[in-house]
Amino acid sequence: MTEAVADRLLAWYDQNGRHDLPWHHDRNAYRVWVSEIMLQQTQVTTVIPYFQAFMERFPDVEALANAPVDDVLSHWSGLGYYARARNLHRAAKQVMEEHGGKFPADQAQLESLTGIGRSTAAAILAQAFQQKATILDGNVKRVLARYHAVPGWPGKTSVLNRLWECAEQHTPDQRIRDYTQAIMDLGAMVCTRTKPDCPYCPLRADCEANANNEQHLYPGSKPKKTKPEKTTWMVILENKNGEILLERRPSSGIWGGLWSLPELDPAYGPEELQDACEQAFGFDCGQPDLVEGFRHTFSHYHLHIQPARLNVANATRVADNGDQQWIHRDKALTLGLPAPIRTLLNRSQEPT
């Protein structure tokens, strides 16, 4: 009889797994939670410096709950999927207000917190509280889809339910913290999306995908849809004090809650941009200086951004408010900005 999946994974993990990631130290529920949210759709190597900086600024759930959301977003800038940061902030407040500042050691109560789903709640239980709980993140889905040859895209309910059954089947009663890390590590290090290193996999002996040389078929791909193309003007408006105008984006939608540059209807031609700015913001603008445009891809569409710089003569006519502020370029770069906007401000030359 083939040795149990959990036993083989644990033996492999003891010799080959990752034991010294930043969130492995002082492994409490708060640190596990933040790391799990950061690791959603993001590589470990990308997450590490963000996690370290985040922990330095927000060392515990109370510090995070009491921080301004702008501060939280600024420490998330560049990680993408900014709803994760807003949800972290909301959930931290929930933990303080509803649970006395302590994370509940209960699956349902954890799932009631903003942004925490079934797998993340289980990871917190297993990693922080060492309770038996079943995880199913992207790496685990790939391992189990190949091991059991589960066809179809995991985003489909029937496929996902089958993978949950497989995950629960293999979750052991002992060493639950190590097991959850082991199966995640296997997916990240060996059972990778492309070119899996099957000869070094502890599950190769009875992996159905490996037996049929069909690793590339599992997990099934998401049905492809053509992404629409959108275009916008982004204007860098600068006053005589060297300050630029930033606007806070709505809390929902792309870059929700982040500070960004004002946008104008792409239907305006370059020769109409000066008048459009004056009409939209109510002050005198100089002639626009076009900056090299670029294309940014979101999960659902492509956005073509055409930036333009304009000097502003009477900035005092535009008062600061909660969602619109004049701020010096250097200070602006410390705010929560979308990565493309940060890059644009960094590379754009000072107007003459």
Residues 330-341: b if buried by 16+ CB within 10 A, e if exposed: eebeebbbbebb
Q: Is 247 a catalytic residue?
A: no
Residue 259: both structure tokens together = 């500070």
- Is residue 184 within 8 A of residue 24, CB to CB? The reply is no
Distance (Å, whole) CA 345 – CA 228 = 26
Chain position carrying tokens 């401000």: 345
Distance (Å, whole) CA 313 – CA 283 = 7
Distances (CA, A) of 150 to 147, 158, 209: 8, 10, 9
From the list 36, 56, 214, 229, the catalytic residue is 36
Q: What is residue 231's three-state secondary structure?
A: strand
* DSSP assignments along 302-323, one per residue: EEEEEEEEEEBS-GGGS--BTT
User: Active-site positions?
Assistant: 36
